[in-house]
Structure 1
């Protein structure tokens, strides 16, 4: 089986990291097509032996990208095209139809009630999504929450399948050596209490609420890992609050394990999440986690993630003060980490590919 994964970009974001983690565990022969620039993860994927094709898309209205994608698909004769992220789903599904690819799958990584991939959801964006969804054969929802949102949009439930994100828990395990080196690189003392945030610096992630808690946290350092449209505004907020020296903007990093090892607690104040992969990665690294919205945890039976605690933003300062006063020891990875094992995810996806390839045209179109 030959599979082409089409993704909008390869920056070090959640969906991109998820694809990078998944590829080594798929038995199919996989290749990747990236619509826009190379991004931080392109070389990391290529080093594993997976070819990365660069489509060279220039903006949302570069319709020539559809033709380039379709030609690649015809030339390489893929059995399955699997798209990731909004722009790749819209353009990739159309190209796959033009190229007559037998099975077309899309994964919804970041779709909310009012936002998609951190951006405001408008009526034209929704209409274009619904039109392109009909060009595919199945949509993979990473959580039941995604199914509910897409059903409300008008996507038939029968066209969706829930396959949660996965991770290799061992690849995120706490490493004292990585902690020491990461702190040295970041200029952090070994005994400094470090609060972490990992994700896109976009409004929906609400990292401004985390920064707002910093003035009452003494010498605590905040380490933000990620980039996005809000970075300048967040920097201005740190200056206005007088905490600019206690907030580190680390930017995108392919070394998430090292960043997590350097932290003492992860905070995920997002108002709305599709899954919450950063929370599960932090739990794999033995960190306590304070979160406001995380389907990955909330969809599991109670007690599956004892290190994770739901804390609304207005209580962050008080809870972080409590943790800083007596920093918790590293925790053992909970059951949630084992439940979201990437090997399970890979098996479920390949079973879906096989079912679609064995289905009749009528069955696939339903």
Structure 2
């Protein structure tokens, strides 16, 4: 089966990393993948190519660059794909139109980041929602990364029979690092062996509320914060750290590859996810996979499991005072490495690839069947 994945960009975001991890496993299920990115063929493009995946770049100039549509349609038609699978909002809009224009028999989309009031970190406006729904009807299956996202889509009016929940997956083995890796990474970062290091992981946008984390770390003496990721909030977070007098205790490491992140987490003592509006909570699972105590304000992935499945995770209300107290308690307890919990094994990336392959096959078979039609 030939599948084309269309994605908005290939920077180091969660959706992009998920696509790369899935592409590595699809061949075991008889699925051959190509990838087209509308913009930004960043570090994940290099990772895909290293794994033998063909990656195309359409050079889209902006949201309203309609010239990309015929180029994408021609690329889809040339590839003779059985399935087109889109990822992220802009790729979903353009990719569904192009796939149907090219006559592809099965069009699938994954909704990675839909919150109550935002989509992919941006305000969720009425026109944005309207365009999403109009183009969603051109697809055959819509995948949500959590039941919370599926519930929102269903509330919008997406038919239940077109909705599928396939949670994000994690490559658990990548996060198993020993004491030598911890020491080595700390030495490279210039961090003393006994420093309490807190990790934040994700795109630096307002909805992630990393400003709250900066303030909490500032209130815990002797602690240091490393933020792994990049985004428009970078300068504001640096100004905040300077204003609080802790610029030397806040390290903004920028985007890092999927290979680098596990080693960086090995050098940390805790991970904090301060966002109150997560659609899945992959950073929380990455922290747990690395054996860290994790504090989180929202994590639908864990809310769908029993508390005993993630004993290293603690939920807080999102407020600064509670986070500061919780961080101080973790610091007092000293560094620990916890075993990977059942939650991490539950969200194995191989399981996600298997479920998506099944959706591809069932959707293609249904659309091809005379009674099924193509809507």
Q: Which runs of 4+ in 1 moved over 2 A?
A: 174-182, 360-366
1:331 aligned residue (334, 338, 343) = 338
Does residue 148 (structure 1) correspond to residue 151 (structure 2)? The answer is yes
Q: Which residue is equivalent to 1:15?
A: 15
Q: Which residue is equivalent to 1:354?
A: 361
2:348 aligned residue (332, 341, 345) = 341
Is the 8 Å Cα contact of residues 201 and 229 (structure 2) preserved in structure 1?
A: yes
| 1:5-52 deviation per Cα after TM superposition (whole angstroms, max 9, x unaligned) | 111111111111111111111121101101102111111110110010
Is the 8 Å Cα contact of residues 266 and 288 (structure 1) preserved in structure 2?
A: yes
Give, in whole Å, the separation in 1 of the partners of 2:141 and 2:116. 21
Does residue 312 (structure 1) correspond to residue 317 (structure 2)? The answer is yes
Is the 8 Å Cα contact of residues 276 and 318 (structure 2) preserved in structure 1?
A: no
Is the 8 Å Cα contact of residues 203 and 230 (structure 1) preserved in structure 2?
A: yes
Task: Structure 2: state its 5+ residue gaps.
Answer: none
- Counting only pairs closer than 5 Å after superposition, residues 45-60 of structure 1 correspond to structure 2 as 45-60=48-63
2:242 aligned residue (239, 243, 254) = 239
1:270 aligned residue (262, 272, 275) = 275
Q: What is the CA-CA distance between 1:302 and the residue it aligns to?
A: 2.6
Is the 8 Å Cα contact of residues 210 and 313 (structure 1) preserved in structure 2?
A: no
3-state SS of paired residue (1:185): helix
3-state SS of paired residue (1:71): helix
Give, in whole Å, the separation in 2 of the partners of 1:95 and 1:268. 37
Q: What is the CA-CA distance between 1:179 and the residue it aligns to?
A: 2.3
TM-score, normalising length: structure 2: 0.95
1:62 aligned residue (50, 61, 65) = 65
Is the 8 Å Cα contact of residues 280 and 299 (structure 2) preserved in structure 1?
A: yes
3-state SS of paired residue (2:90): helix
Give, in whole Å, the separation in 1 of the partners of 2:370 and 2:249. 58
Q: Which residue is equivalent to 1:177?
A: 180
Q: Which residue is equivalent to 1:159?
A: 162
Give, in whole Å, the separation in 1 of the partners of 2:91 and 2:371. 25
Give, in whole Å, the separation in 2 of the partners of 1:24 and 1:343. 10
Q: Which residue is equivalent to 1:283?
A: 288
Q: What is the CA-CA distance between 1:313 and the residue it aligns to?
A: 3.0
Give, in whole Å, the separation in 1 of the partners of 2:21 and 2:279. 18
Q: Which residue is equivalent to 2:98?
A: 95
Q: What is the CA-CA distance between 1:156 and the residue it aligns to?
A: 1.4
Q: 1:238 to 1:362 in 2, by over 3 A?
A: farther
Give, in whole Å, the separation in 1 of the partners of 2:45 and 2:218. 39
Q: 1:365 to 1:179 in 2, by over 3 A?
A: farther
Q: 1:44 to 1:160 in 2, by over 3 A?
A: same
Q: What is the CA-CA distance between 1:194 and the residue it aligns to?
A: 0.3
Q: What is the CA-CA distance between 1:185 and the residue it aligns to?
A: 2.5
2:208 aligned residue (192, 205, 214) = 205
Q: Which residue is equivalent to 1:322?
A: 329
Give, in whole Å, the separation in 1 of the partners of 2:154 and 2:9. 27
Q: What is the CA-CA distance between 1:184 and the residue it aligns to?
A: 2.4
Is the 8 Å Cα contact of residues 105 and 136 (structure 1) preserved in structure 2?
A: yes
Q: What is the CA-CA distance between 1:181 and the residue it aligns to?
A: 2.8
TM-score, normalising length: structure 1: 0.97
Q: 1:203 to 1:261 in 2, by over 3 A?
A: same
| 1:278-323 deviation per Cα after TM superposition (whole angstroms, max 9, x unaligned) | 1111111111100010001011123110010101233011111111
